[in-house]
Amino acid sequence: MDSCRFNLSRKEGMSNFQSFAKTLENKIREELFAELKLSQDLEKSGEVTDETGYQHLGWLMGQNSNLKTSLKSPCNYERSPYSRYRKPPRPRPSHQFNEAQTQAFLLLKCYASNFAENFNMIELKRSYRQALLKVHPDKGGQAEDFWQVRNAFTLLKSLV
């Protein structure tokens, strides 16, 4: 007898699911309309002054996607209360070059165009590597140019 109870045909099983889905949908509709009627009654009596009830109801039903949730996103962090007291970064002063250092700077500048006069060690190394890639003998450059770039780097490294 128990085995007969669970041996339903596909058609009967599908109709049971469809009837369950319809029942569930009707129950949800009844609750939402009851909630809507309650919010309308409260609004008429003056207890509710804004439209948040309608907005939340529309959001729950999927009709209002513009409603912002009250939860904070981890990406939207607040600024530090001390951020307004931070001083802006000071511009770095330009280096004072002698004649040899000026020539070394101009040599590196012709191979690395983004090399500025107020460079720091990171920018110096970056432009040095770019210059070496252009003048390295294995990459089609001349050995003499390669050694000039290396000597220019050692001269400018003393400034930083």
The pLDDT averaged over each successive group of 10 residues in the chain (160 residues) is: 49 72 85 78 60 56 54 52 74 89 93 89 94 93 94 92
Write down the residue that tokens 């460079």 correspond to.
119
- Number of domains the chain is built from: 2
The reply to whether 142 falls in a domain is yes
Confidence (pLDDT) at 72: 46
Confidence (pLDDT) at 95: 87
The residue range of the domain holding 41 is 15-68
Quick one: which of 96, 105, 99 has its CA closest to 149?
A: 105
Alpha carbon distances (Å) from 146 to 101, 134, 152: 17, 9, 10
Confidence (pLDDT) at 25: 86
Confidence (pLDDT) at 150: 95
The reply to whether 37 falls in a domain is yes
Same-domain pairing of 103 and 58: no
Residue 10 Rama label (left phi>0; alpha psi -120 to 50; beta): alpha
The reply to whether 80 falls in a domain is no
Measured at the CA of 73, the angle between CA 72 and CA 74, to 5 degrees, comes to 115
